[in-house]
Structure 1
């Protein structure tokens, strides 16, 4: 097949089973059809999370959730792909997980009642405070394309349409905007989040080792 196999994942493990705490007996027996890279085939969910935790990146992602924005799940999925330290849901605790494609099981997801509570949490982290950078095309915003993205930072994204709330704009340590060249005023929130996270990867991630894979 020129575009890869028709089925996702692998069937039952052929031959003698491997030894180690990371292996899931049920998956070895029945096959692993999950949406995970080959590195984690047949691993338990706990083992995958532990391995990810050993090498998570220095950025966090936060999303305001006042209107049950359907973009949240997609942002969580991108945060998993780029290996965010944590994902923060601000506002309503319930959110639409469909777009996450089960990636929230491998990601640390925290809830905060409002943006000031998120800001206080980031300021009190044991490793040191993490600045809160919002994305919005506001006057005075930094240009993402030319700014030096901090190695430790939390990207904050507002709701689709209105963008960052007024309280979020007041609390953010800085805001940045993404260059656009067409007629629309703004781009999709999940697209903006992916651009911001990839910018961090370009500036800070180790792309030379075997920890990065390309989809």
Structure 2
């Protein structure tokens, strides 16, 4: 029996940045007729960094399908100094199916670290923290600031709200001084070495995965 086109490739090694071959070649056999498939990819192959489930799919179809899978947390990243870590945070937000990403401050951001995952993610611009707070209030989201500062609650002991915006600062200065005024909760990450802080992109991954551990269904992971 011919496998369902949407499941073609399931069980085979997924894409990787380190391997010599990424993706799949032209479609073999009769083409699928569903409009989720991209004729150009079917003809020439799909070399994108996507999970096998989405091989040969149009980008718009992937986004629509992800919209059915996204979780109840959003990400906000302060961009007052054009932080190069923003792309990494966006990429991680895509991996954990964040509902949306907000760039707070400067509209332009360094997309290199995103590895084009921003094409599949809803990315919005908020000119300042007050506008982010209004967005959160309008959508019933708690704002959770992340910063290793006095008074922050250790994330290892904190219950993260299911519906929330996780707010991250920039590499170096961390959250802006007035970010706490717009946060309902501020959490910190336990550290045991000599450095004052960890990389902002790494911190974002830790906090997002903590939300996943507390609220997500691991059986729905790829």
Q: TM-score range by the shorter chain?
A: over 0.9
SS in 1 for 2:218: coil
Q: Aligned to 1:45, which of 56, 59, 76?
A: 59
- 1:142 to partner: Cα distance: 1.0
SS in 2 for 1:170: helix
Q: Give the structure 2 partner of residue 108 of structure 1.
A: 122
Does residue 212 (structure 1) correspond to residue 186 (structure 2)? The answer is no
Does residue 170 (structure 1) correspond to residue 184 (structure 2)? The answer is no
SS in 2 for 1:94: coil
Q: Aligned to 2:142, which of 131, 147, 153?
A: 131
Q: Aligned to 1:36, which of 34, 44, 50?
A: 50
Q: Aligned to 2:95, which of 77, 81, 93?
A: 81
Q: Aligned to 1:62, which of 76, 80, 97?
A: 76
Q: Aligned to 1:21, which of 35, 43, 49?
A: 35
Q: Give the structure 1 partner of residue 5 of structure 2.
A: none
Per-residue displacement from partner, 1:115-171 (whole Å, max 9, x unpaired)?
Answer: 11101011102xxx1011111112211110111111111110111101111121221
SS in 2 for 1:89: strand
SS in 2 for 1:80: helix
Per-residue displacement from partner, 1:90-132 (whole Å, max 9, x unpaired)?
Answer: 000000000000000000000001011101011102xxx1011
Per-residue displacement from partner, 1:169-195 (whole Å, max 9, x unpaired)?
Answer: 221111000000000010000000000
Distance 2:213 2:141 in 1: 19
Q: CA RMSD in A?
A: 1.5
Q: Give the structure 2 partner of residue 199 of structure 1.
A: 210
SS in 2 for 1:42: coil
Q: Give the structure 2 partner of residue 10 of structure 1.
A: 24
Q: Which runs of 4+ in 1 moved over 6 A?
A: 2-5
Q: Give the structure 2 partner of residue 150 of structure 1.
A: 161
Distance 1:122 1:113 in 2: 14
* TM-score between both structures, scaled by the size of structure 1: 0.93
